[in-house]
């Protein structure tokens, strides 16, 4: 009875406050017509216990490292082990990118992360005609195992994990081959491969470019998982890079659903192959965004963690708690970084990075001030490291676990995002699964619609972007802008040609023949691909064999 009275009392007090608020608005209106977050969810001025009625601490929030993992996947979190400082690197070739990694390591980077140029991502060599103008520009150019050796020179492959923002089996094969050259036991090799049916191959693309013309296929995806399950137990064989889907313009709610749906499709594909859910699920990780709306992002990380745990346990019936733990790397938004007034991006990066930390990320990249212009120069890249360091070592924000739990607003929003994401998942389920191009086409349209809607709101001033549609100034740059080495393509072609001239043709032929057979016979593609990269077969040659024989 006492509780009932309390509830009634609270309801009355809330109504009274609401009346006061409304009457104040008659004197002076709210500063905006509508308050909506980035998923177009309307936000009230105040949240109270009444907004989270029915929330059960044990069932819905729980403890860090305990189901449903709302408060974090590990019991100790940052008190013991801070998030990995994993700023992505990638320009020029292996040699050039390795130099940047050393610079970053000297200033506090703790994990390796690499992005490749578009020709490499598509499985093409640097000397292809379509590669002209793209070689080493937006990532590292990688043609042969020699480039991988150069790239990983000085990188401790048994520490920190190697994050690879690519899906090509040959890239994993090169990492494995380099590890073997260094006599590293593959059991100790940790890292991540972005191996999943993506919407668009790279960040900021909302179209489904695979369309049967690329190397990527369900078979290769599951081949990689199967190979890793048996040989690389510490390797994350699937990393769902929904961060890039977000960059293409989807909402936070969609980010949750469009992240979980492809992971479930990979699991389904594995089950069809005879791999158990509890074998694959613990090696699935996520790559998420952290965007403009501070609390929405924090709630998003918490909601996605809980939804993943619930789906895996309650719907898929998995038994291993590791299958329920949604581990994620986060890279703060690039699309929210502006070309105008780039110093303001440092402030944005701090907020987005802090949201990721308050949301319990396992590793983090904070975008640099010049994100809207180019890849970062050393000075701005170092400032990103300093941002991590300020959050971890000065702000106190990482000294306790999930400090925003229990906030009426954050818990209400966590519930709301989870519910809405679940309805999108249900819709996808009713249409088929992520392997179905029709589903991905529908998703592409949803992303494009959200992106256009947002852009319209920016154009008409409803959404403020500082320096873009408000407080506009003439564009001036307070630091030098990164410029590519115009001679780089020639340098890379010389490296490629040297490898081609020096390689053992007989060994190449044998590897090619084995690879063709494996493609045709449906055996796992990884072992013959590893032999092929050791025989100095280029990524483009491997792609060609894949496409002609499967």
Partner 1 sequence: MAEKIRVLLAKPPLDLHSRGILVVATALRDAGMEVIYLEASPKVGLREIVQAAMQEDVDIIGMSIMSGSPGIILPKMLKIRDEIGLKHIPVVAGGIFPEEEIEELKAAGVAGIFRPGTPIESIVETVRELAASRQQS
Residues that bind partner 1 (CB under 8 A): 118-119, 122, 124, 128-134, 137-138, 200-207, 209, 211, 213, 247-249, 335, 338-340, 372-374, 448, 451-452, 455, 459, 468, 475, 481, 483-484
Give least dist CB 493 to partner 1, A. Answer: 14
Q: Judged by CB, which is closer to partner 1: 161, or 334?
A: 334
Give least dist CB 50 to partner 1, A. Answer: 39
Sheet holding 112-115, edge to edge: 112-115, 162-165, 191-193, 235-236
Element (DSSP H or E) covering residue 329:
strand 328-332
Give least dist CB 345 to partner 1, A. Answer: 13
Q: Judged by CB, which is closer to partner 1: 111, or 540?
A: 540
Element (DSSP H or E) covering residue 163:
strand 162-165
Give least dist CB 174 to partner 1, A. Answer: 20
Q: Judged by CB, which is closer to partner 1: 68, or 349?
A: 349
Q: Judged by CB, which is closer to partner 1: 211, or 317?
A: 211
Q: Judged by CB, which is closer to partner 1: 249, or 528?
A: 249
HEC per residue, 392-454: HHCCCCCCCCCCCCCCHHHHHHHHHHHHHHHHHHHHHHHHCCCCCHHHHHHHHHHHHHHHHHH
Give least dist CB 54 to partner 1, A. Answer: 39
Give least dist CB 179 to partner 1, A. Answer: 29
The C-alpha atoms of residue 124 and residue 543 are separated, in whole angstroms, by 7
Q: Residue 424 in contact with residue 442, Cβ under 8 Å? A: no
Q: Residue 117 in contact with residue 166, Cβ under 8 Å? A: no
Q: Judged by CB, which is closer to partner 1: 48, or 207?
A: 207
Q: Residue 381 in contact with residue 108, Cβ under 8 Å? A: no
Give least dist CB 474 to partner 1, A. Answer: 11
Q: Judged by CB, which is closer to partner 1: 269, or 334?
A: 334
CA 381 to chain centre: 19
| Buried-state track 22-58, b at ≥16 Cβ within 10 A, e below 16 | eeeeeeeeeeeeeeebbbebeeeeebbeebbeebeee
Give least dist CB 134 to partner 1, A. Answer: 5
Q: Judged by CB, which is closer to partner 1: 73, or 337?
A: 337
Q: Judged by CB, which is closer to partner 1: 120, or 325?
A: 120
Q: Judged by CB, which is closer to partner 1: 42, or 483?
A: 483
Cα Rg of the chain, angstroms: 24
Q: Judged by CB, which is closer to partner 1: 105, or 138?
A: 138
Q: Per-residue DSSP letters for 45-67?
A: S---GGGGTT--IIIII--TTST
**What is the Cβ-side half-sphere exposure of residue 69, based on CA atoms within 13 angstroms?**
26
Q: Where do runs of H (alpha helix) occur along 67-186?
A: 94-106, 118-121, 145-152, 169-181
Give least dist CB 380 to partner 1, A. Answer: 16
The C-alpha atoms of residue 423 and residue 190 are separated, in whole angstroms, by 35
Q: Judged by CB, which is closer to partner 1: 88, or 179?
A: 88
Q: Match 């313009």 to its residue by tokens.
A: 249
Q: 513: how many CB neighbours lie within 10 A of its CB?
A: 12
The C-alpha atoms of residue 546 and residue 34 are separated, in whole angstroms, by 53
Give least dist CB 249 to partner 1, A. Answer: 5
The C-alpha atoms of residue 195 and residue 534 are separated, in whole angstroms, by 22
Give least dist CB 32 to partner 1, A. Answer: 22
Quick one: which of 199, 205, 204, 210 has its CA closest to 123?
210
Give least dist CB 467 to partner 1, A. Answer: 9
Q: Match 């949803």 to its residue by tokens.
A: 446
The C-alpha atoms of residue 159 and residue 21 are separated, in whole angstroms, by 55
């Amino acid at each position: 009875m006492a509780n009932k009275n309390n509830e009634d009392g609270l309801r009355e007090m809330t109504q009274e406050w609401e009346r006061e608020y409304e009457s104040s608005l008659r004197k002076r209106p709210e500063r905006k017509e509508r308050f909506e977050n980035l998923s177009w969810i309307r936000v009230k001025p105040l949240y109270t216990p009444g907004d989270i009625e029915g929330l059960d601490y044990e069932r819905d929030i729980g403890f860090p490292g305990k189901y449903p993992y709302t408060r974090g996947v590990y019991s100790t979190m940052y008190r013991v082990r801070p998030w990995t400082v994993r700023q992505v690197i990638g320009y020029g070739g292996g040699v050039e990118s390795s130099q940047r990694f050393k610079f970053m390591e000297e200033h506090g980077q703790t994990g390796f992360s690499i992005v490749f140029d578009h020709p490499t991502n598509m499985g093409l060599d640097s000397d292809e005609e379509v590669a002209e103008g793209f070689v080493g520009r937006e990532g590292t150019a990688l043609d042969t195992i020699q480039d991988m050796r150069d790239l990983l020179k000085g990188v401790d492959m048994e520490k920190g994990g190697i994050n690879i923002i690519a899906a090509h089996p040959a890239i994993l094969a090169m990492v494995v081959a380099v590890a073997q050259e260094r006599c590293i036991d593959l059991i100790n090799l940790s890292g991540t491969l972005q191996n999943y049916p993506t919407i668009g191959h790279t960040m900021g693309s909302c179209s489904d470019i695979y369309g049967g013309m690329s190397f990527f296929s369900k078979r290769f995806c599951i081949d990689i998982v199967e190979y890793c399950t048996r040989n690389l137990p510490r390797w994350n064989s699937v990393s769902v890079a929904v961060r890039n889907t977000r960059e293409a313009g989807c909402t936070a709610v969609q980010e949750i659903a469009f992240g979980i749906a492809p992971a479930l499709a990979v699991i389904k594909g594995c089950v069809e192959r005879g791999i158990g859910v509890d074998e694959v699920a613990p090696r699935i990780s996520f790559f998420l965004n952290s965007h403009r709306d501070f609390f929405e992002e924090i709630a998003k990380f918490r909601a996605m963690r809980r939804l993943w745990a619930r789906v895996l346990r309650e719907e898929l019936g998995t038994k291993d708690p590791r299958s329920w733990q949604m581990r994620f790397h986060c890279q703060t938004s690039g699309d929210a970084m502006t070309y105008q007034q780039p110093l303001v991006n440092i402030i944005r990066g701090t907020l987005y990075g802090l949201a990721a930390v308050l949301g319990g990320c396992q590793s983090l990249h904070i975008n640099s001030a010049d994100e809207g212009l180019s890849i970062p120069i050393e000075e701005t890249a170092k400032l990103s490291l300093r941002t991590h360091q300020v959050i971890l070592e000065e702000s106190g924000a990482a000294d306790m676990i999930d400090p925003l739990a229990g906030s009426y607003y954050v818990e209400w929003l966590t519930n709301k995002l989870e519910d809405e994401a679940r309805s999108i998942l249900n819709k996808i389920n009713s249409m088929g699964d992520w392997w179905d191009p029709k589903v991905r086409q529908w998703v592409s349209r949803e992303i494009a619609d959200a992106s256009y809607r947002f852009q319209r709101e920016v154009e008409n001033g409803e959404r403020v972007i500082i320096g873009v549609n408000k407080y506009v100034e003439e564009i001036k740059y307070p630091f030098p802008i990164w410029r590519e080495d115009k001679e780089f393509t020639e340098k890379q072609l010389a490296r490629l040609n040297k490898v081609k001239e020096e390689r053992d043709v007989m060994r190449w032929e044998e590897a090619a023949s084995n690879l063709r057979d494996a493609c045709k016979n449906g055996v796992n593609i990884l072992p013959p691909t590893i032999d092929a990269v050791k025989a100095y077969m280029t990524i483009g040659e491997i792609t060609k064999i894949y496409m002609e024989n499967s």
